[in-house]
Homo-oligomer: A and B are copies of this chain.
Amino acid sequence: MKDLKEQILESVRQDLVEIEVALTDNLKPYLPLVSHVAKYIMFSGGKRIRPLLMVLSARLCGYRGNYDKTLSVVFEYLHAATLLHDDLVDGADMRRGNPVAHSIWGNPATVLVGDFLLARSIAIAARTNSVPIIDILAHTTAQMSEGEIHQLLHRGDIAVDEKDYTEVITRKTAYLIQAACQVGALLAEAPVEQVQVLAGYGYHLGIAFQIADDLLDYTADTRVIGKTTGTDLREGKLTLPVIYALDCATREDRRRLETIIRDMVAVTPTPNGELLRDVDAKDADFETVLGLIKKYGGIAYTRDRAQEHIEQAKKCLEIFDASQARTLLEQLADYVVVRKM
């Protein structure tokens, strides 16, 4: 039996080809530097999950037009803009095994190309002549930057609880995925109920996606994921496994965790305001944290939370009749929590 990933890929091969063409075509008339930076970030192993969700949501709602692939690039552009700016904000060095864009083209070009992609997204959306679609994108983008600011302000804050965490990942990840599904339905001029149900599907899928992604930072095989495990912790980002462990730990273990976390993030900002760039946490410290997370069942708890959201996502789709699009959206939901990278 083929594995889930291959099954999905086989069904969406043609869609993915058309999405790739649209991603390139919509950058063509612009300055070469824009294309270079945008392509570098977009064509380095992205899974096109956001465009694909938009295209499949539109199809599920009976869309028969030909603007779906073009509109779908908006979600990849917005995602790319966010990655460009976030890597800069985080002072990251590597993404998926490659040097980050700002280490190649410099901070100025990275900031500006991100701005350009944001603006270009809205311009592409405006061509639908649909104010609700534009409105969703504008609000999603504002929420995403607010989410990043929130995360920036709470770096290394050990008082962060599961509610705060959910708030951050909702803004950072779930809203954009929700928007992709909602916009697909709106493009198909679907009835309000279908739009809302797909928004719900996208929201739960997005939350599960980010929980699973954060979990990989503690469990992944570094040769597969192409980045070092423990990166979040080293950058002072507390995600669900460690938040849960902190919550359950004995006073003594909690103190051990807190000390390690404080040491990891306690670095002086550089003169130009970049924070935490030089965090050089010892691998031994990370292993200690991982051990404590496992001791309190943080990995299993996190996996269960992701799975719960996946079940809720799939439940949202029940109002739709059986179709290939529905099956694919269900499979994509399952895939999100089993993927290795």
Show the binding face of A for B, using Cβ within 8 Å.
30-31, 33-34, 81, 85, 88-90, 102-103, 105-116, 118-120, 122-123, 125-127, 129-131, 134-135, 137-139, 141-142, 144-146, 148-150, 152-153, 269, 272-275
Measured CB to CB, the closest approach of chain B to A279, in angstroms, equals: 14
Which B residues lie within 8 Å of A127 (CB)?
135
Given A103-B272, A109-B273, A116-B142, 19 extra CB contacts under 8 A: A34-B146, A34-B149, A81-B115, A88-B107, A89-B111, A90-B108, A106-B269, A106-B273, A107-B272, A107-B274, A116-B149, A118-B119, A119-B141, A120-B138, A120-B142, A122-B122, A122-B141, A123-B142, A125-B138
CB within 8 Å for A112 and B33 given contacts A88-B107, A135-B126, A139-B123: no
**Docked pose: A314 CA to B152 CA in angstroms:** 48
Is B112 within 8 A of A138, CB to CB? no
Which B residues lie within 8 Å of A90 (CB)?
108
- Identical subunits present: 2
Which B residues lie within 8 Å of A110 (CB)?
273
Is B275 within 8 A of A108, CB to CB? yes
**Docked pose: A114 CA to B112 CA in angstroms:** 11
> Could you list 9 examples of A-B contacts with CB < 8 Å?
A33-B149, A107-B273, A109-B152, A110-B273, A122-B122, A125-B138, A126-B134, A272-B272, A272-B274
Which B residues lie within 8 Å of A89 (CB)?
107-108, 111-112
**Docked pose: A150 CA to B108 CA in angstroms:** 12
Which B residues lie within 8 Å of A88 (CB)?
107-108, 111
